[in-house]
A and B are shown apart, each in its own frame.
Chain A
Amino acid sequence: MNRIRDHLVAAGLYALLAAIFAATVYPLVWVAGTALNPGDTLLISSMLPEHPTLRHFGRLLRETDFALWYRNTMFISVSNMLLSTLLVTVTAYAFSRLRFKGRQVGLMTLLVLQMFPGFLSIMAIFVLLLQTGLLNTHLGLILIYAGGSVSFGVWVMKGYFDTIPRSLEEAAIIDGAGRADVFFRILLPLSVPALTFVMLTAFIGPVMDFILPQIVLRSSDKMTLAQGLYGMVSDKMNSSFSLFAAGSVLTALPITVLYMFFQKYLIHGLAAGADKG
């Protein structure tokens, strides 16, 4: 009797797991299937096409500006990654290791700013960029991203620096190391997990963002992937689903791999950002 109940429980559990699995992968398989499907129709009948083809990928590269969007996005993401990592580590170091007037106020300000979605001030940013001649430039967008990433990144990074014992640095200073030595040779190497997290989020943020590019980048040769793909779907003609699917696969694949690879850092970093501050 007990054995039967046990089997039933197990069967129920696996049924549940299977259902969740189906719901989880359905959209992903659908995208891949549509991208490989020879026709232009939305795949309804079968999830995977019988005669898969790479035709849509070729069309995507020939008929749309996809390659250009890709390049733009990569340029913006990498630049933002470098710039904001520099800003964040330097600022976090100051907040973690130095004691100065206005430190608490500074931390509190960053905290409140972090909760303030950047594009609430779109109008002002728009006018500021317009006046400085940075509207419709990648530089303008990168500067905004870098400025916006400071608050959250500093909290994560500072939290991590705080966990590294100062005695290590003091020992190095006794041995004659300068402040810069301590920073580059001791603190940074020990902070690789937090550093990885900050760099990854700074890299991925611009790839995922839709709204800021939409406001800042006004001409089609400057567009990012998010803008381009949105344009394909929101198009009322509904003609380019297979192109959209192909583009999605090309965009999502590297990012998904990146995420899965750095999973540990990302999940712990997000948690750290929340509880260590």
Chain B
Amino acid sequence: MSRGDRAIVYRAGPASPATAGLLSAVCAGGGQLLNRQYAKGALFMAAYAAALIVAVPRIARALQGLVTLGDTPTRIVDGVLVRGDHSIFLLINGLLALFAGAALLMLHALNIADAYRHRAAAIADGGPAHPRRRSGDEAAAAPAPSATAPTNGSRHPAFAGRRSREGRVALLLLAPALLFVLFVSVVPMLFNVLIAFTNYSSPNHIPDRSLVSWTGLQTFSRLLSDRAWTSTFGGIFAWNVVWALLSTLVAYFGGLAVALLIEHRKVRFKKLWRTAFVLPWAFPSFIAILVFRVLFNGALGPVNGLLERMGLPGVPWLSDPTVAKLTVLLVHFWMSMPFLMALLSGILTTIPRDLYEAAEVDGAGGAAKFRRITMPHVLMATSPILIMQFASNFNNFNLIYLLTDGGPPNPNYYFAGSTDILLSWIYKITLEQNQFNMASAVSIVMFVVIALVSVLNYSRTHSFREKD
């Protein structure tokens, strides 16, 4: 060992990066003090103390609540109302506490990494373990441990290059959306999932008169083994799939047919027809649905009135199970065809004319041209839209609920009618029957289906194959 080496070891101090990390692990800021980052160390210690005193006990209590879901219901003792535990609030609080706890742990890990990295950098520099000179604005921009280069993957602060700066900007820009998505989508979704593993349902387990408890997979086993539930779920699921498929295909090919009709060389005033036919798309859908609900009314409806005046019998548009299904399809066609027509019209005009001319030279007829040129071209351009329409029809709650209320009622079903889809059924068992756990179990099954379809769809589109 040369003299120089020894000098370096001596000047860097005896502490290794691991020691600095360990110090910071025991008490945030400890490692930073060792690195002679006094202000930063003090700040971290203060934050650490505050977290230990304020946040940690609350989180611990909330987590305990999440495990037990409460043990005393609200009751009346000697004529006085005694507030007990509200299982559902405990559940939500516990969930939020999980996120808070995870965030705190992450901050702590960043603090440890920070101490370790500065120590290692100091040793590598061979100089005294001085903090890197920080410019004024950088120091000001780092008031809390969270700002200490969270996405910085480089080993040395001096290497913090373009990527880590971009990371910091990205975090700043994404933070609001992240919070929104967390509280509006992710937390509710997790809550929803958790409910499936409890007995949260009417009439015996509704807080705060009674408690809710964890029941494991019981809800799922009831959904899959109880005859009434199974047949309802199976029936609705089957109709839901058939409905999504039929409505999508009918509207798509209907739209294509009308677009082709307008494109026909004998048809004049193309623009006028197109504008007229696109009207239903521009008309607010919920109003259109409500109008159809009135139009197809069995006793008073104008459509049946019209039929009667022509000497024809009235049709049970919304009261016969089979007819009601057809009515729903019909109304959907009225509402969706225009958008597809407009879209497909645009695509039809992008097909190169010379393809058709070449085909004609080869003696192809109208049918062959359509099958070999038009159809492949259109399908290729619109297959993602087809899948997207399928997904949105699968969950077309508004149409079903506003048009038929899911009815006519089906006596073989649990709380559902013949045209109910899964989503409207879930709505009913949640808001009308308060069978929260069952609604949640059904929605989990549904989510899996939707997620599979959407991932299948988008993983093929080019956004995912982009190169950096």
| Chain A interface (Cβ < 8 Å from any Cβ of B) | 6, 9-10, 13-14, 16-17, 20-21, 23-25, 27-28, 30-31, 42-45, 87-88, 90-91, 93-94, 98-104, 106-125, 127-128, 131, 143-144, 146-148, 150-151, 154-155, 158-159, 162, 179, 207-211, 215, 226, 229-230, 233-234, 238, 241, 244, 248, 251-252, 255-256, 258-260, 263, 267, 270-271, 273-277
Contact = CB atoms under 8 A, between A and B. Distances in A.
Given A87-B177, A233-B290, A27 B295 contact: yes
B343 A123 contact: no
A95 B450 CA distance: 24
B266 A113 contact: no
B294 A276 contact: no
Given A28-B279, A256-B283, A270-B339, A101 B167 contact: yes
A273 B343 CA distance: 13
21 contacts: A16-B261, A42-B300, A94-B170, A101-B153, A111-B455, A115-B391, A115-B450, A115-B454, A119-B427, A123-B191, A123-B430, A124-B192, A128-B183, A131-B89, A210-B401, A230-B402, A248-B287, A267-B343, A273-B388, A274-B387, A276-B462
Given A23-B334, A91-B174, A112-B455, 11 more contacts: A20-B277, A21-B273, A88-B177, A91-B177, A120-B446, A123-B192, A146-B184, A230-B402, A248-B290, A251-B287, A256-B282
A110 B181 contact: yes
B143 interface: no
Given A13-B261, A30-B302, A267-B339, A143 B281 contact: no
Nearest to B269: A17
B166 A99 contact: yes
A54 B171 CA distance: 56
B454 A144 contact: no
B2 interface: no
A258 B282 CA distance: 8
B185 A267 contact: no
B185 A113 contact: yes
Given A124-B191, A150-B181, A207-B284, A275 B346 contact: no
B291 A248 contact: yes
B281 A259 contact: yes
A101 B264 contact: no
A227 to B, nearest CB: 10
A210 B262 CA distance: 35
Contact of B287 (A9, A109, A252): A252
Contacts of B292: 27
Nearest to A106: B174
Nearest to B308: A44
A159 B88 contact: no
Given A128-B187, A230-B402, A260-B282, A147 B301 contact: no
B324 interface: no
Contacts of B385: 270-271, 274-275
Nearest to A207: B284
B454 A151 contact: no
Residue in B88, B188, B384, B468 whose Cβ sees the most chain A Cβ within 10 Å? B188
Contact of A275 (B166, B174, B334, B384): B384
A101 B151 contact: yes
B352 to A, nearest CB: 20
Given A128-B183, A128-B187, A267-B342, A31 B291 contact: yes
Contacts of A144: 184
A181 to B, nearest CB: 14
A124 B253 CA distance: 39
B177 A90 contact: yes
Contacts of B278: 260, 263
Given A115-B454, A248-B291, A275-B461, A226 B170 contact: no
B458 interface: yes
B191 A121 contact: yes
B181 A255 contact: no
Contacts of B466: 162
Residue in A14, A27, A91, A251 whose Cβ sees the most chain B Cβ within 10 Å? A27
A122 B192 CA distance: 9
Contacts of B451: 112, 115-116
A263 B397 contact: no
A121 B177 contact: no
A23 B330 CA distance: 11
Contact of A20 (B171, B258, B287, B339): B258
B180 A143 contact: yes
A229 B174 contact: no
A198 B275 CA distance: 23
B92 A124 contact: yes
B261 A124 contact: no
Contacts of A21: 273, 276-277
Interface in B127-176: 151, 153, 163, 166-167, 169-171, 173-174, 176
B180 A146 contact: yes
Given A17-B267, A114-B454, A248-B291, A94 B88 contact: no
A158 B458 CA distance: 14
Given A21-B276, A21-B277, A128-B187, A123 B195 contact: yes
A179 B165 CA distance: 12
Residue in B181, B195, B306, B387 whose Cβ sees the most chain A Cβ within 10 Å? B181
B286 A121 contact: no
B326 interface: no
A17 B273 contact: yes
A122 B439 CA distance: 11
B427 to A, nearest CB: 7
A21 B185 CA distance: 42
Contacts of B346: 267
A158 B464 CA distance: 12
